[in-house]
């Protein structure tokens, strides 16, 4: 296949681009490098520097070649920031996606895979969440992703653009071959922050909220390895010959934030300095996936089910790349 990967210089997009290349596919990465890194674009992929907010440039990039599939990762993606800047998130995520989707329909693209999110499911949901469960985003970030899912429904009904909305839970880990890893700036995600605290690269970790209705009072999340996510993307494209699909994607296992600290301590053999902090607005107490749909329909099975195995690949990359993809600050 020839694939256009928006956001392919970012964490999840670069790993999926790498998996596509490893599978013998052709990849063009479209990215504005706003949060991604040129060095994260895998070897063998071509790169085009485009901001999806620029409708004309987006149209030109999509129209330049015939794509077997477009994979859309590019977005603003921080739950906490979206609670402070709701209109930025609602405007930018929907507008950039609209520019891309409109260009895809104009240039007769028939398959699109979209990075949706567990953040569609706010509130307290102690049980695993299935894709048919009621949508109630807990943040403007989650809402922006839902608006894009709805846009894709109409793009299919009116133009026949078939899409896979993949609602991932918490992406984590790194390429086990060490080619790619996670490098957000600033980093806000729990696993890389906890690893950096263990490695002495930051003074300590702040644990947001001690009074959630969970087994130890900290939030529960479902961590899914990026390579398992990549596998699901490739399988999802295979489903798009005759219909659109929506899948929840996670391991189905919930770990508390405190258990993440314990896992990093086990795997690294080092102590993690941490302290309590206020709850972070927008954080649901529990997010665990029921991924029965994607398993039954595509045969997908996560290979990294143990949190320690996910943490280990992330730790190895961060140890080997003390400055991530860049130079020391
Ligand atoms: N990381 C997670 O745990 C997680 C979970 C669920 C869903 N998602 C979704 O997956 C996608 C990727 O997340 P990530 O963690 O890899 O984020 P990331 O910030 O590492 O990657 C996003 C990439 O998109 C690019 N980008 C952003 N805006 C752009 C624009 N206007 N034009 C062109 N490129 C642009 C960035 O430069 C970056 O390379 C996002 O859509 C996110 O909402 C992520
Ligand atoms: O310094 C920190 C950072 C995070 N957390 C907590 O750790 C948990 C996980 O947070 P984080 O790693 O930031 O991920 P989420 O906020 O759960 O969001 C991720 O996972 C969502 C799907 O569940 C995606 O939609 C988002 O894009 C992605 O950033 C939450 O309870 C946070 O409050 C801390 O306690 N301290």
Q: Would the CB of 261 count as within 6 Å of ligand 2?
A: no
Q: Would the CB of 256 count as within 6 Å of ligand 2?
A: no
Three-class SS state of 263: helix
Euclidean distance between CA atoms 317 and 11, whole angstroms:
13
Which positions of the chain have pLDDT values less than 70?
A: 327-329
Asked whether the CA dihedral 236, 222, 23, 41 is positive or negative, the reply is: positive
The strands making up 286-287's β-sheet, listed across from edge to edge, are 255-256, 220-221, 286-287
pLDDT score at 327: 63
Contact call for residues 191 and 243 (beta carbons, < 8 A): no
Cβ partners under 8 Å of residue 119, min gap 6: 79, 137, 138, 139, 141, 142, 145, 284
C-alpha closest to that of 4 among 64, 88, 83, 54: 64
Q: Tell me the domain boundaries of the chain.
A: 2-171+224-249, 190-221+253-320
pLDDT score at 310: 98
Q: In this structure, which CATH number among 3.20.20.140, 3.90.25.10, 3.40.50.720, 1.20.1730.10 belongs to the domain 190-221+253-320? A: 3.90.25.10
Q: CA 318: distance to chain centroid? A: 19
Contact call for residues 140 and 83 (beta carbons, < 8 A): yes
Question: What is the distance in A from the centroid of ligand 2 to the CA of 191?
Answer: 9
The residue whose CA has the least distance to atom 20 of ligand 2 is 170
Euclidean distance between CA atoms 13 and 36, whole angstroms:
9
Full DSSP string of 88-99: HHHHHHHHHHHH
Which atom of ligand 2 is closest in space to residue 222's alpha carbon?
Answer: 23
pLDDT score at 64: 98
pLDDT score at 125: 80
Q: Which residue has the tokens 């392919």?
A: 8
**Model confidence, pTM:** 0.97
Q: Would the CB of 212 count as within 6 Å of ligand 2?
A: no
Where does the chain have alpha helices with state H? 11-22, 55-63, 79-84, 86-106, 140-159, 190-198, 226-238, 257-268, 292-298, 307-320
Q: What angle do CA 325, 256, 234 make, to 5 degrees?
A: 50
Full DSSP string of 221-257: E-EEEHHHHHHHHHHHHHTTTT--EEEEES-S--EEH
Best residue among 114, 172, 257 to mutate for probing ligand 2, ranked by most atoms within 8 Å of CB = 257
Euclidean distance between CA atoms 74 and 90, whole angstroms:
14
The residue whose CA has the least distance to atom 16 of ligand 2 is 79
Cβ partners under 8 Å of residue 180, min gap 6: 14, 15, 18, 40, 42, 174, 317
pLDDT score at 329: 46
Looking at domain 2-171+224-249, what is its CATH homologous superfamily?
Answer: NAD(P)-binding Rossmann-like Domain (3.40.50.720)
Question: What is the distance in A from the centroid of ligand 1 to the CA of 77?
Answer: 6
**What number of CA atoms fall less than 13 Å from residue 39's CA on the CB side?**
11
pLDDT score at 13: 98
Neighbour-count burial for 176-203, b at 16+ CB within 10 Å, e otherwise: eeeebbbbbeebebbbbbbbbbbbeeee
């Amino acid at each position: 296949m020839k694939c256009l990967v928006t956001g392919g210089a970012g964490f999840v997009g670069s790993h999926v681009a790498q998996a596509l290349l490893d599978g013998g596919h052709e990849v063009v990465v479209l990215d504005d490098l706003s949060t991604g890194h040129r060095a994260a674009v895998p070897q063998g992929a071509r790169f085009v520097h485009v901001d999806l907010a620029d409708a004309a440039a987006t149209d030109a990039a999509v129209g330049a070649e015939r794509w077997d599939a477009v994979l859309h990762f590019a977005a603003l993606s921080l739950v906490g920031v979206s609670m402070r800047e709701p209109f930025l998130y609602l405007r930018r995520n929907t507008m950039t996606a609209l520019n891309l989707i409109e260009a895809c329909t104009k240039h007769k693209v028939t398959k699109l895979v979209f990075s949706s999110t567990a953040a569609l499911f706010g509130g307290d949901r102690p049980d695993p969440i299935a894709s048919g469960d009621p949508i109630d985003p807990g943040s403007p970030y989650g809402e922006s992703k839902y608006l894009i899912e709805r846009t894709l429904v109409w793009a299919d009904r009116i133009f026949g653009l078939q899409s896979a909305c993949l609602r991932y839970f918490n992406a984590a880990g790194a390429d086990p071959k060490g080619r790619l890893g996670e490098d957000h700036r600033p980093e806000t995600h729990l696993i890389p922050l906890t690893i950096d605290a263990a490695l002495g690269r930051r003074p300590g970790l702040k644990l947001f909220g001690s009074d959630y209705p969970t087994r130890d009072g900290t939030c529960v999340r479902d961590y899914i390895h990026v390579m398992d996510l990549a596998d699901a993307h490739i399988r999802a494209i295979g489903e798009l010959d005759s219909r659109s699909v929506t899948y929840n994607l996670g391991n189905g296992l919930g770990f508390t934030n405190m258990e993440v600290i314990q896992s990093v301590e086990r795997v690294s053999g080092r102590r993690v300095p941490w302290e309590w902090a206020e709850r972070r607005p927008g954080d649901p107490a529990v997010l665990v996936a029921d991924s029965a749909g994607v398993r039954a329909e595509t045969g997908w099975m996560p290979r990294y089910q143990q949190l320690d195995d996910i943490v280990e690949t992330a730790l190895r990359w961060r140890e080997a790349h003390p400055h991530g993809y860049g130079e020391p600050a």
